[in-house]
Amino acid sequence: DRLHHEPLWKLRSTLTQGASIPLAIEVVSQHWQDDYLLKLGQYERLGIPEYWIVDYLGLGGRRYIGNPKQPTLSIYELSAGEYGLRTFTGDSPIESRLFPELKLTAQDISMQENR
């Protein structure tokens, strides 16, 4: 309901105000650097409260998803203008401030992506 305040939304589906959406979700592709480096910084600057990176193939860099690489859900939550990170793998229950009643694991998300 806040997208009508976005001046570029109808032209290019572009956000200029983080208050327009509470959550951005990216599914990692072969160009994983875009999600972990570029979009992370852009969304943080915009002030989007929560940013999820669904890396269902474990493609991201080791500094982002650990070693050994494995399918990972990264949740970045905005606090005092900066993102804090929590990662979820396997049967770890996902915890989100936006969805406190969510009953999924990282593996549940990965399985959905593989269909």
Q: Which two tokens stand for residue 74?
A: 């990264």
64-79 residue pLDDT tens = 999 999 999 999 999 9
- Rounded alpha-carbon distances, angstroms, from residue 56 to 16, 79, 80, 105: 28, 26, 29, 12
Peptide bond into 7 cis (omega under 30): no
19-41 residue pLDDT tens = 668 899 999 989 999 999 999 99
Distance CA 2, CA 61 (A): 34
82-106 residue pLDDT tens = 999 999 999 999 999 999 999 999 8
